[in-house]
């Protein structure tokens, strides 16, 4: 797998970065956004533009909080 494309804003994470951090495919992360029974974290994504195809982003703090909730460790495995 190629490395995830990085966000230009260090406070944000791209779909690829999020998928890599939580150990899911980008496809599964995208599909989880649409499931009402999925963890609320997946619906915290936002678009950086107004177009339909604008890239998805997540706040790094939201990703870290989610990882701590499900595994007890944050981004990069930090306790």
Q: Is residue 60 part of a domain?
A: yes
Q: How many Cβ atoms from other residues are within 10 Å of residue 7's Cβ?
A: 19
Q: Is residue 20 part of a domain?
A: yes
Q: Is residue 7 part of a domain?
A: no
* Element housing 58 (H / E): strand 56-59
Q: Is the pLDDT of residue 1 over 60?
A: no
Number of independent structural domains in the chain: 1
Q: Is residue 1 part of a domain?
A: no
Q: Is residue 62 part of a domain?
A: yes
Q: Is residue 8 part of a domain?
A: no
Residue 19: name the closest of 36, 35, 41 by CA. Answer: 41
Provide the residue range defining the domain that includes 47.
13-72
Quick: pLDDT tens for 44-77: 999 988 999 999 999 999 999 999 999 988 887 7
- Global confidence as pTM: 0.84
Q: What DSSP string describes 15-52? A: HHHHHHHHT--HHHHHHHHH-TTS-GGGGG-EESSSST
Q: Is residue 42 part of a domain?
A: yes
Q: Is residue 5 part of a domain?
A: no
Q: Is the pLDDT of residue 14 over 70?
A: yes
């Amino acid at each position: 797998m190629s490395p995830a494309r990085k966000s230009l804003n260090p406070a944000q994470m791209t779909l690829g970065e999020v998928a890599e951090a939580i150990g899911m495919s980008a496809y599964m992360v995208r599909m989880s956004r649409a499931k009402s029974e999925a963890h609320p974290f997946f619906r915290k994504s936002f678009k950086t533009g107004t177009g339909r195809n604008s890239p998805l982003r997540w706040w790094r703090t939201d990703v870290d909080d989610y990882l701590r909730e499900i595994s007890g460790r944050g981004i990069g495995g930090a306790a």
